[in-house]
Copies of this chain bind each other. A is one copy, B any other.
Amino acid sequence: MLTRMSSLFLRTLREDPADAEVPSHKLLVRAGYVRRVAPGIYSWLPLGLRVLRTIEQVVREEMDAIGAQEIHLPALLPKEPYEATGRWTEYGPNIFRLKDRKGGDYLLGPTHEELFTQLVKGEYSSYKDYPVMLYQIQTKYRDEARPRAGILRGREFLMKDSYSFDLADEGLAKSYQLHRAAYVRIFERLGLEYVIVKATSGAMGGSASEEFLAVAPTGEDTFVRSPGGYAANVEAVTTPAPPARDVEGLPAAQAHYTPDTPTIETLVAFLNNDASLNRSGLRRTFTAADTLKNVLVKTRQPGKTEWTLLGIGVPGDREVDMKRLEAALDPAEVALLDESDFAKHPFLVKGYIGPAALAANGVRYLVDPRVATGTAWVTGADKVDHHVVDLVAGRDFTPDGTIEAAEVREGDPAPDGSGPLEAARGIEIGHVFQLGRKYADAMGLDALGPDGKPVRVTMGSYGVGVSRLVAVIAEQSHDDSGLIWPRAVAPADVHIVIAGKTDEITAGGEQLAAELDAAGLRVLLDDRKASPGVKFADAELIGVPTIVVVGRGLATGVVEVKDRRSGERTEILLETVVSHLQELTGTR
């Protein structure tokens, strides 16, 4: 394939687009791969479309290889299946909704669990039909609150979504592993640096869930990893709980007058410095970790109007991480209390809230796993300027359960004992979920078993962000001059620059391009009437991995072959350049 830049629909830009912050966004726009139509909505220009289609094909091949079957569902979907599962409501403002001319409710599909479930239910009836894995590579829509970074977080995007249908948990585990392995192959083929992290399953429901995160400092997702190989999404990190201790013989709880201590900092300073406290036998040094901070929030279930109070208890040296809290409470909505909430509930004494008032007033109270039975805490006494010391969990108060809401810090121990955690940032490129029977329950998907009795089907859901991958690869593979595509996804194998205006040089470039084309290489030929400087800059920006410069060297029978990534230049004899490039590009 020979593509001439003299007629290619491509205009590179010297300036970064005003709205671009991350390198992939800047470079994909400047190099003419994509163009913005509206926030989070982009057009693909010729070179961008080539990269996108190549990635799509890699994904397709690996899905076919595990026996998944490709189908294609609509993007415009009726409301009813999403109502059956509750997601019509749960998605809130995050999906695009519309009405047709008859007033029927529709949405633009953000993901297709309901439709695949409905489809399989319509086609399959017997246990003999299962298992089956189906996938599609299809345009999806989400009305993101903050579309950002070009195609990295768009509102219209291309996704590969697949779904597995099994009769038993072991089957689901196998389908899950097949997908996980296919994703590993996909991301390896695309040359990505990535980690697989434990993940919460969010609005998808279900149990086992892992995310594939491409490592990138510009990533929106923070994850943690340990030297021993543990990796998890921050939302999914679990806290090792200390063993429950016997409460017998522990000091009794005592309320103290602790004036002007509405914050943890003022409280700890007071505890360590106040003479009267020391007199009462508390001859020890307190840290923030000895205090129990009670944060009050309110939650609301999807589709409901009323809010419910919820108390969250975490060690005082940690903040509540709202993203972790939201993930733990999903799909419920969470908000901090405002002044009117406090006014409505006078038992909530700001700065001095303790477990006692919550229990007395029927407020659900969830604590960090570190607040184990037998641990003793300094916490609010539900009275201004008063705290309780040595309040023992399981003796003096009994939480309604635990919750993963406290912030995770670098240096925290990995839950599997594999060492201290360090934080890094990543971009979600794939996820694998064991949905279980949530959707089959909602839609009534059963198979008739060998004994004539119905067997409820168990499902998995698996996604790869195909269009996002174009940006992710660009994010991981670029330099100051432009993009550097891995061979597997490059829009061409070779970029020939005709560097000179003589007939000989032009003819030499044309002839080489024709020979490479005939040899099966995909050639991008810069045959424009532009200066060599402009052409070199564009070649660097566009990022084809091998650049061939046909210029003055032609007189002595050589052309220059430049490796875009290393910058290394080699002079190659004209007679051998075709076979040299075939070797280099792996096309022979």
Q: Which of A70-78, A255-263, A541-549, A563-571 contacts B (4 or more CB under 8 A)?
A: A70-78
**A43 contacts partner chain B, Cβ-Cβ < 8 Å:** yes
Asked if A119 is an interface residue, CB under 8 A from chain B, the answer is: yes
Q: Is the CB of A141 within 8 A of B8?
A: no
- Shortest A516–chain B CB gap in Å is 19
B residues less than 8 Å from A41 (CB atoms): 74, 76-78
Tell me the number of copies of this protein: 2
- Bound complex: CA A569 to CA B102 (Å): 52
Q: Is B74 in contact with A156, judged by CB distance below 8 angstroms?
A: yes
Judge whether A69 is part of the interface by a CB distance below 8 angstroms: yes
Question: For A52, what are the chain B residues with a Cβ–Cβ distance below 8 Å?
Answer: 72
Contact: B115 with A43, CB < 8 Å? Answer: yes
Residues of the B chain whose Cβ atoms lie less than 8 Å from the Cβ of A37 = 73-74, 77-78, 115
B38 touches A69 (CB 8 A): no
- Answer yes or no: A480 CB below 8 A from chain B CBs: no
A508 at the interface (CB under 8 A from B): no
| Given A37-B78, A78-B38, A101 and B71 contact (CB-CB distance below 8 Å) | no
Q: Determine whether A35 belongs to the interface, using a CB cutoff of 8 Å to chain B.
A: yes
Query: Is A42 close to B, CB under 8 A?
Result: yes
CB–CB A139/B43 < 8 A: no
Q: Answer whether A7 and B67 are a contact pair too, CB < 8 Å, given A38-B78, A97-B98.
A: yes
Per-residue B-contact encoding for A128-168, CB less than 8 Å = 1, 0 else: 00001010000101010100000000011000000000000
Using Cβ atoms and an 8 Å threshold, which residues of chain B touch A104?
38
CA distance A97 to B101 in the complex (A): 10
Instruction: Identify which of B8, B32, B141, B145 contacts A101 (C-beta below 8 A).
Output: B145
- Asked if A323 lies at the interface with its beta carbon under 8 angstroms from chain B, I say no
Complex Cα gap A342–B104 (Å):
36
A139 to B108, CA, bound (A): 13
Q: Nearest CB to that of A147 among chain B residues?
A: B100
A75 CA / B138 CA spacing, docked (Å)? 12
Identify which of B11, B74, B100, B108 contacts A76 (C-beta below 8 A).
B108
Give Cα A478–Cα B77 distance, bound, in whole angstroms. 31
Query: How distant is A313 from chain B, measured CB to nearest CB, in Å?
Result: 35
Nearest 5 CB-CB pairs, A to B?
Answer: A98-B98, A44-B72, A38-B78, A93-B101, A11-B123
Write the residues of chain A forming the contact surface with B, with a CB cutoff of 8 angstroms: 7-11, 32, 35, 37-38, 41-46, 49, 52, 67, 69-78, 93-94, 96-98, 100-101, 104, 106, 108, 115, 119, 122-124, 132, 134, 139, 141, 143, 145, 155-156
- A-B residue pairs in contact (CB < 8 Å), sample of 27: A7-B132, A9-B69, A9-B71, A9-B123, A9-B132, A37-B115, A38-B76, A38-B78, A38-B106, A41-B77, A42-B74, A43-B72, A43-B115, A43-B119, A44-B71, A49-B70, A49-B72, A52-B72, A75-B75, A76-B96, A76-B155, A93-B101, A98-B98, A98-B108, A100-B143, A100-B155, A101-B143
Q: Knowing that A9-B71, A41-B74, A74-B156 are A-B contacts, what are 13 other residue pairs whose CB atoms are under 8 Å apart, sorted by A's residue number?
A: A11-B124, A35-B122, A37-B73, A37-B77, A37-B78, A38-B77, A46-B69, A46-B70, A75-B75, A76-B108, A96-B98, A96-B106, A101-B145
